[in-house]
Amino acid sequence: MVYRVGILDDYQQVALKLVDWAPLQDQVTVDVFTDTILDEALLVERLKDYDIICTMRERTKFFAGLLDKLPKLKLLTTTGMKNNGIDVKYAKDRGIVVSGTASDGNSTLEHIWALLLATVRFIPQDDASTKAGNVLWQTKIPLGLVGKTLGLIGVGKLGAKTAAIARAFGMKVVGWSPHLTPERAAEAGVGFVVSKEDLIKQSDIVSIHIVLSESTRHLISAADLVHMKPTAFLINTSRGPIVDEAALIQVLENKAIAGAGLDVFDVEPLPLDHPLRKLENVVLTPHMGYVADTSYETFWKQTVENISSFLSGAPTRVLQ
């Protein structure tokens, strides 16, 4: 039997270039898709004949409703060993194997600081101004980090690493999350703040490092955003819906805060007519936090391995 493999959301068209798929050439045919379909009916029409589907992170969601409409699906691969966009338990109940991959490097940490620094130092605005031939040589005054307060919403492994870099810049770092304790904050080298409101009020930069769940959806609400200093910045490299996007747009439009750096959005890819694309005081990146040449090489190398193992009857890296 020759299995049909569909590779989804390969925006950079690298899935077939980074690794050797030749070991599978007699067992599979492969189709690559570079766009994301949000309409479920259209998505079902595209995917209904595939035995194996390869996903990139959470770009396309596979919940019960979609899985029920894909009767031929036998293997679903994902990059990373956790994907909140896949109902793994339901897939397992349907007899669909879900396999993941390792995630190498520090791409997310690197992107957090690239985005943060680009935002508070107005790098994209200065770049655009210089290239446009603006007669005014300097137009912005960057935020100096020494002595400023970085407020972390979430102090897990990534938050702790972010804090370590902030201290190297001479910043004060404080943290809050619904379940953060003074002991865990101390272990991460972060000052413990009792309430979300207190953290937001005292922070010069608020950076989000918490997992999206039903309890954290719109965790940063319109009522929270009004507590930010008018000179403060918001950085979100976690998940878009953690912040009330409509409320944030209003705050940015009113210039009630200095700006925002966003790598994640409610709808991805971000619609072309989205108001965030028109704001001068926001730096946008297209959900690049997990992307690096090293991570992609690992993702696709292990995806090929996972398919090969499945076809041999011994699936590997199976998510439970």
| 192 close to 222: Cβ distance less than 8 angstroms | no
Dig out the tokens for 95 from the structure. 């007899």
Estimate to the nearest angstrom the gap between the alpha carbon of 91 and the chain centroid. Answer: 23
Active site residue 227: no
Active site residue 287: yes
The CA distance from 32 to 49, in Å, is: 14
Dig out the tokens for 251 from the structure. 């705050």
Going by DSSP bridges, is the β-strand pair 172-176/3-7 parallel, antiparallel, or unpaired? unpaired
Size of the chain in residues: 320
Residue 235 per-residue DSSP state: E
DSSP string, 105-157: S-HHHHHHHHHHHHHHTTHHHHHHHHHTT-SSS----PPP-TT-EEEEE--SH
Containing 77, the helix (H) or strand (E) segment is strand 75-77
Catalytic residue of the set 57, 111, 209, 287: 287
Number of helical (H) and strand (E) elements in the chain, helices listed first: 11, 12
Catalytic residue of the set 268, 274, 297, 305: 268
Beta-carbon contacts of 28 under 8 Å, excluding residues fewer than 6 positions away, are 2, 3, 4, 5, 52, 307, 311
Catalytic residue of the set 57, 111, 209, 239: 239
Active site residue 183: no
The CA distance from 212 to 268, in Å, is: 15
The CA distance from 5 to 7, in Å, is: 7
Catalytic residues: 239, 268, 287
